[in-house]
Amino acid sequence: MKVGVLISGRGSNLQALIDACAEADFPAEIVTVISNRPNVGGLELAEAAGIPHQVINHKDFEDRESFDGALDEALQAAGVELICSAGFMRILTDGFVEKWRNKQLNIHPSLLPSFKGLHVHERSIEAGVRISGCTVHFVRAEMDDGPIVAQAAVPVHSDDTASTLAARILVAEHKIYPLALKLVAEGKARVVGEKVVFSGLDETEEAPVLSHPQ
Protein backbone atom coordinates (compact mmCIF):
# COMPACT_ATOMS: atom_id res chain seq x y z
CA MET A 1 0.00 0.00 0.00
CA LYS A 2 1.35 3.41 -1.00
CA VAL A 3 1.40 5.78 1.97
CA GLY A 4 1.75 9.54 2.22
CA VAL A 5 2.83 10.94 5.59
CA LEU A 6 1.80 14.44 6.66
CA ILE A 7 3.99 16.20 9.22
CA SER A 8 4.50 19.58 10.84
CA GLY A 9 7.51 19.00 13.08
CA ARG A 10 10.35 16.76 14.16
CA GLY A 11 8.86 13.57 12.75
CA SER A 12 9.42 11.01 15.51
CA ASN A 13 6.35 9.02 14.48
CA LEU A 14 7.42 9.41 10.86
CA GLN A 15 10.71 7.71 11.77
CA ALA A 16 8.83 4.85 13.41
CA LEU A 17 6.85 4.38 10.20
CA ILE A 18 10.01 4.65 8.07
CA ASP A 19 11.68 1.96 10.17
CA ALA A 20 8.65 -0.33 9.89
CA CYS A 21 8.33 0.13 6.13
CA ALA A 22 12.02 -0.74 5.73
CA GLU A 23 11.25 -4.32 6.79
CA ALA A 24 11.10 -6.62 3.77
CA ASP A 25 7.73 -8.13 4.67
CA PHE A 26 5.97 -4.90 5.72
CA PRO A 27 2.87 -4.37 3.57
CA ALA A 28 3.22 -0.60 3.07
CA GLU A 29 5.61 1.84 1.41
CA ILE A 30 6.00 5.56 2.12
CA VAL A 31 5.97 7.27 -1.27
CA THR A 32 5.88 10.89 -0.11
CA VAL A 33 6.30 13.03 3.00
CA ILE A 34 4.62 16.43 3.01
CA SER A 35 5.12 19.16 5.61
CA ASN A 36 3.03 22.30 5.96
CA ARG A 37 6.05 23.98 7.58
CA PRO A 38 9.52 24.48 6.07
CA ASN A 39 12.77 23.46 7.71
CA VAL A 40 11.36 20.91 10.15
CA GLY A 41 13.20 17.84 11.38
CA GLY A 42 10.85 15.39 9.72
CA LEU A 43 11.96 16.55 6.27
CA GLU A 44 15.54 15.67 7.17
CA LEU A 45 14.41 12.20 8.23
CA ALA A 46 12.68 11.70 4.88
CA GLU A 47 15.79 12.93 3.07
CA ALA A 48 18.00 10.52 5.01
CA ALA A 49 15.68 7.65 4.11
CA GLY A 50 15.61 8.58 0.43
CA ILE A 51 11.87 9.31 0.48
CA PRO A 52 10.45 12.02 -1.81
CA HIS A 53 9.38 14.99 0.29
CA GLN A 54 8.09 18.51 -0.12
CA VAL A 55 6.77 21.54 1.71
CA ILE A 56 3.29 22.87 1.05
CA ASN A 57 3.31 25.90 3.30
CA HIS A 58 -0.19 26.71 4.52
CA LYS A 59 0.85 30.36 4.81
CA ASP A 60 1.11 30.55 1.02
CA PHE A 61 -2.63 30.02 0.60
CA GLU A 62 -5.55 32.38 1.10
CA ASP A 63 -7.81 29.83 2.77
CA ARG A 64 -8.04 26.25 3.99
CA GLU A 65 -9.78 25.06 0.85
CA SER A 66 -6.98 26.14 -1.46
CA PHE A 67 -4.33 24.65 0.83
CA ASP A 68 -6.22 21.37 1.04
CA GLY A 69 -6.62 21.38 -2.74
CA ALA A 70 -2.87 21.64 -3.21
CA LEU A 71 -2.31 18.94 -0.60
CA ASP A 72 -4.77 16.61 -2.31
CA GLU A 73 -3.16 17.23 -5.69
CA ALA A 74 0.28 16.36 -4.34
CA LEU A 75 -0.97 13.18 -2.69
CA GLN A 76 -2.76 12.09 -5.85
CA ALA A 77 0.33 12.81 -7.96
CA ALA A 78 2.39 10.55 -5.70
CA GLY A 79 -0.11 7.71 -6.05
CA VAL A 80 -0.99 7.73 -2.36
CA GLU A 81 -3.59 5.18 -1.26
CA LEU A 82 -3.51 5.91 2.48
CA ILE A 83 -2.55 9.04 4.44
CA CYS A 84 -0.82 8.85 7.81
CA SER A 85 -0.95 12.12 9.73
CA ALA A 86 2.02 12.18 12.11
CA GLY A 87 2.10 15.35 14.15
CA PHE A 88 0.32 17.23 11.36
CA MET A 89 -0.95 20.40 13.03
CA ARG A 90 -3.63 21.48 10.59
CA ILE A 91 -7.40 21.11 10.74
CA LEU A 92 -8.45 19.77 7.36
CA THR A 93 -11.63 20.85 5.63
CA ASP A 94 -14.69 18.63 5.62
CA GLY A 95 -14.33 18.22 1.86
CA PHE A 96 -10.77 16.89 2.12
CA VAL A 97 -11.67 14.55 4.97
CA GLU A 98 -14.64 13.17 3.08
CA LYS A 99 -12.61 12.63 -0.09
CA TRP A 100 -10.10 10.57 1.91
CA ARG A 101 -12.72 8.91 4.10
CA ASN A 102 -11.41 5.62 5.54
CA LYS A 103 -8.11 6.36 3.79
CA GLN A 104 -6.50 8.59 6.42
CA LEU A 105 -5.06 7.62 9.80
CA ASN A 106 -4.08 9.90 12.67
CA ILE A 107 -2.37 9.31 16.00
CA HIS A 108 -3.46 11.19 19.12
CA PRO A 109 -1.73 11.12 22.54
CA SER A 110 -4.70 10.07 24.65
CA LEU A 111 -7.13 7.20 24.95
CA LEU A 112 -9.86 8.60 22.75
CA PRO A 113 -12.60 9.63 23.10
CA SER A 114 -11.09 11.17 26.26
CA PHE A 115 -8.99 14.33 26.02
CA LYS A 116 -9.46 15.39 22.43
CA GLY A 117 -7.67 18.49 21.23
CA LEU A 118 -4.55 20.19 22.58
CA HIS A 119 -2.67 20.23 25.91
CA VAL A 120 -3.62 16.60 26.43
CA HIS A 121 -0.98 15.70 29.01
CA GLU A 122 -1.57 18.75 31.17
CA ARG A 123 -5.31 18.06 31.17
CA SER A 124 -4.79 14.38 31.94
CA ILE A 125 -2.64 15.16 34.98
CA GLU A 126 -5.02 17.88 36.13
CA ALA A 127 -7.94 15.46 35.89
CA GLY A 128 -6.10 12.92 38.03
CA VAL A 129 -6.42 10.01 35.61
CA ARG A 130 -4.34 6.93 36.43
CA ILE A 131 -4.14 5.61 32.86
CA SER A 132 -3.46 7.57 29.71
CA GLY A 133 -2.09 6.45 26.36
CA CYS A 134 -2.47 6.95 22.64
CA THR A 135 -4.88 6.11 19.85
CA VAL A 136 -4.61 5.50 16.11
CA HIS A 137 -7.90 6.23 14.37
CA PHE A 138 -9.40 6.92 10.98
CA VAL A 139 -9.93 10.64 10.47
CA ARG A 140 -13.34 12.27 10.54
CA ALA A 141 -14.35 15.92 10.21
CA GLU A 142 -14.62 16.40 13.95
CA MET A 143 -11.24 16.86 15.61
CA ASP A 144 -9.71 13.67 17.02
CA ASP A 145 -12.76 11.63 16.12
CA GLY A 146 -13.22 8.52 14.02
CA PRO A 147 -13.12 4.71 14.11
CA ILE A 148 -10.33 3.44 16.38
CA VAL A 149 -7.74 1.02 14.97
CA ALA A 150 -5.35 0.64 17.90
CA GLN A 151 -4.74 1.96 21.39
CA ALA A 152 -1.95 1.67 23.93
CA ALA A 153 -2.45 2.21 27.66
CA VAL A 154 0.27 3.98 29.65
CA PRO A 155 0.25 4.60 33.42
CA VAL A 156 0.23 8.11 34.84
CA HIS A 157 2.62 8.38 37.79
CA SER A 158 1.91 10.59 40.79
CA ASP A 159 5.02 12.68 40.13
CA ASP A 160 4.48 13.03 36.37
CA THR A 161 4.80 16.33 34.58
CA ALA A 162 3.36 16.92 31.14
CA SER A 163 6.85 16.34 29.72
CA THR A 164 7.51 13.03 31.47
CA LEU A 165 4.06 11.71 30.59
CA ALA A 166 4.45 12.82 26.99
CA ALA A 167 7.79 11.02 26.72
CA ARG A 168 6.32 7.80 28.11
CA ILE A 169 3.36 7.94 25.74
CA LEU A 170 5.62 8.67 22.76
CA VAL A 171 7.34 5.31 23.25
CA ALA A 172 3.93 3.65 22.90
CA GLU A 173 3.04 5.79 19.88
CA HIS A 174 6.08 4.48 18.04
CA LYS A 175 4.82 0.92 18.56
CA ILE A 176 1.13 1.24 17.76
CA TYR A 177 1.31 3.46 14.67
CA PRO A 178 3.28 0.89 12.63
CA LEU A 179 1.01 -1.84 14.02
CA ALA A 180 -2.12 0.02 12.96
CA LEU A 181 -0.70 0.75 9.51
CA LYS A 182 0.20 -2.91 9.08
CA LEU A 183 -3.30 -4.07 10.00
CA VAL A 184 -4.93 -1.59 7.62
CA ALA A 185 -2.52 -2.27 4.76
CA GLU A 186 -3.10 -6.00 5.03
CA GLY A 187 -6.86 -5.53 5.04
CA LYS A 188 -7.10 -6.99 8.55
CA ALA A 189 -8.57 -3.79 9.98
CA ARG A 190 -11.42 -2.17 8.09
CA VAL A 191 -14.25 0.21 8.83
CA VAL A 192 -17.76 -1.20 9.07
CA GLY A 193 -20.30 1.48 9.92
CA GLU A 194 -18.33 3.68 12.30
CA LYS A 195 -16.28 0.96 13.96
CA VAL A 196 -13.15 -0.92 12.96
CA VAL A 197 -13.54 -4.67 12.69
CA PHE A 198 -10.64 -7.12 12.54
CA SER A 199 -10.27 -10.30 10.55
CA GLY A 200 -7.50 -12.71 9.67
CA LEU A 201 -5.35 -12.07 12.75
CA ASP A 202 -3.14 -15.03 13.56
CA GLU A 203 -1.69 -16.15 16.88
CA THR A 204 1.66 -14.46 16.27
CA GLU A 205 0.17 -10.99 15.83
CA GLU A 206 -0.25 -8.50 18.64
CA ALA A 207 -3.75 -7.50 19.58
CA PRO A 208 -4.64 -3.96 18.53
CA VAL A 209 -4.74 -2.95 22.22
CA LEU A 210 -1.37 -2.72 23.91
CA SER A 211 -0.33 -2.15 27.51
CA HIS A 212 2.88 -0.43 28.50
CA PRO A 213 3.31 -0.65 32.31
CA GLN A 214 6.26 1.72 32.63
**Active-site positions?**
108
136 φ/ψ angles, rounded to the nearest 5 degrees? -105, 125
Q: How far apart are CA 7 and CA 213, in angstroms?
A: 29
DSSP 23-65: STT-S-EEEEEEESSSS-HHHHHHHHTT--EEE--GGGSSSHH
DSSP-based three-state secondary structure for 90: coil
Number of neighbouring beta carbons within 10 Å of residue 53? 20
Query: Residue 63 to residues 68, 91, 142: CA-CA distances in angstroms?
Result: 9, 12, 19
